[in-house]
Amino acid sequence: MNSQTIQSSVKLFPISELMEGERQLVEIDGVEIALFNVDGNLYAIANKCPHQGVPMVYGSIGGTQLPSNPQEYVYGLHNRIISCPLHGWEFDLETGKTIFAPDKVSIRSYIVKEEDGYIALILRKEPQSVIRKNFHCKP
Ligand code: FES
């Protein structure tokens, strides 16, 4: 995002409703966005897998096997990876990029932060509609 881009901070709900291990779902201008609190880190991604469109909010979160030499198995990115619940494509929660083709396949990721006690999304423009979905997953 360059400095010319107008940004809009949208407060969604109190931080107390997205505690560690919890997930929430919102719909902004018709696009579902899944929000996660993983070990105190906040992440937000589009709730639609780019492969066949299943909801990413149900994905499992963990790490993955990193590129390595033959017969070496290196685990990394612990709790930064979400796996699609249908076929297991893995995405970096922070960047939205896939592990297998980071420059070709990704899911939209959003900047999310705490602002005055609320979860806030930073968007490129002021949204027309913000809907809190009836979804709240606790650990
Ligand atoms: S629908 Fe997500 S990997 Fe296939």
Q: Is 111 in the pocket of ligand 1 (CB under 6 A)?
A: no
pLDDT tens digits, one per residue of 51-97: 999 999 999 999 999 889 999 999 999 999 999 999 999 999 999 99
Q: What is d(CA 8, CA 30) in angstroms, rounded to the nearest whole number?
A: 17
Tallying the residues shown for the chain, one arrives at 139
What is the model's pTM?
0.92
If you measure from the C-alpha of residue 5 to the centroid of ligand 1, how many angstroms do you get, rounded to a whole number? 32
User: Is pLDDT above 60 for 121?
Assistant: yes
pLDDT tens digits, one per residue of 79-91: 999 999 999 999 9
Listed in sequence order, the residues at least 6 apart from 37 whose beta carbon sits closer than 8 Å to its beta carbon are 18, 19, 20, 21, 22, 23
CA 3 vs. chain centroid, Å, equals: 24
Name the amino acid, one letter, at 69.
N
Q: Which ligand 1 atom is the nearest neighbour of the CA of 85?
A: 2
Q: Is 15 in the pocket of ligand 1 (CB under 6 A)?
A: no
The edge-to-edge listing of strands for the beta sheet with 74-83 is: 60-66, 74-83, 90-92
If you measure from the C-alpha of residue 84 to the centroid of ligand 1, how many angstroms do you get, rounded to a whole number? 6
Name the amino acid, one letter, at 15.
I
User: Is pLDDT above 90 for 135?
Assistant: no
pLDDT tens digits, one per residue of 105-115: 999 999 999 99
Q: Is 28 in the pocket of ligand 1 (CB under 6 A)?
A: no
Structure letter (DSSP) for residue 21: T
10 Å Cβ neighbour count for 39? 10
Q: Are 106 and 91 in contact (CB under 8 A)?
A: yes
User: Is pLDDT above 80 for 139?
Assistant: no
